Amino acid sequence: MPAPELGPIGLAQPAGLMDRAKSLEVGRCLHPSTVSENVLARLHDRSGIEHRAIAILEPDGAIPLYGIDAAGERRSETIPTTAERMQAYREHATPVALEAATRAMMRAGVDADAVTHLVTASCTGFAAPGVDLDLIARLGLAPTVRRSHLGFMGCHAAVNALAVAAALARESPTARVLVVCVEISSVHFHHDDRLDHVISNILFADGAGAAIVGHDLEHAIGRIERTASKVFPGSGDAMGWHIGDHGFEMTLDAEVPALIGGGLPAWLRNDVGLDSASVGGWAIHPGGPKVIDTVVEGLELAEDAADASREVLRTCGNMSSATLLHIIDRLHASEIPTPWVGLAFGPGLTGELVAIR
């Protein structure tokens, strides 16, 4: 059986849009005075982000979850509990996931009764019943649809979700696998002066991406030719994502870009057998500007090879698992010729690759 096809991507973001000025305002409210305004401003300038979607941002600019009012003042010093953050996740994740899934199905020309499998990915919230069952009910999928959920895998989970979908699609030529990645990262903003926590508050955003995977799709943008994975040795403490009493806590070592740069070329060359020169388009997950720069430099790519990744970072921020689908959609919309290679990195430190032709 040939490699499964990937249908057009469906994208969605919540309505709340946080520009750089608003992000600075929120940062001043959340972090103690030991984080100076100059440091906040410099980190925002270096982030490469102009604006990002934030689900918990009210139309008047207030963020009730963090006690921030419309005037940009923090009226409560109480830090929300993990339970309160999970309640906010449940409120906001389903609508944006539903919007992305609906668009993906419409663009692929696949009706609800044709969907045989549902693969969901999210690392910013958990509930049972969760987003997957919400989607079955709201989309009108069959109650017999087979479900797989990839939880807590981090920013590279879109690759894992596509790999699972491709494996399921190989079971039958009539399989139609709906993949949905959704993240509400904004429910996990930090409140201390740790530099990696300050950076996380600046980088992460909310959004969703979805696609149909199967054979003989009416509309397809390419085939999922292969996926690959690599755990970078000695990097287990470099990036982490842990559940605490006051939300999920990110650990992000400053050495992450160097670890990626040191291990990436050999992995792609020796293990994957990838010839970078033969790649038409690159979808590099924007863990931050330095991660993009490291991949470009390490693989000796042309500077414009990362244009799609930088543009998604600039206009959307880092939406964790949903981000890679946004970049792939941009490659397709820009008519960048295949093959495309998607690269993403997450806790472990782990790299994931998907090749689409």
pLDDT of 223-268, one tens digit each?
Answer: 999 999 999 887 777 888 889 899 898 888 888 888 888 888 889 8
User: What pLDDT is stored for residue 88 in this prediction?
Assistant: 98
| pLDDT above 80 for 272 | yes
User: Active-site positions?
Assistant: 155
Measured between its terminal Cα atoms, the distance across the chain in Å is 16
Domain residue extents for the chain: 222-356
Strand partners, 222: 6
Is the peptide bond prior to 143 cis by the omega test (within 30 degrees of 0)? no
Interacting residues of 102 by C-beta distance below 8 A, sequence separation 6+: 10, 139
Each residue of 279-336: pLDDT tens digit?
999 999 998 999 999 999 999 999 899 999 999 999 999 999 999 999 999 999 999 9
Q: Indicate the burial class of 246 (C-beta count within 10 angstroms; 0-12, 13-18, 19 or more).
A: middle
pLDDT at residue 118 in the model: 98
Convert the pLDDT of each residue in 180-195 to its tens digit.
Answer: 999 999 999 999 999 9
Q: What stretch of H or E contains 131?
A: helix 131-139
Burial class (CB in 10 A: 0-12, 13-18, 19+), 84: middle
Mean pLDDT of the chain: 95
CATH number of 222-356: 3.40.47.10
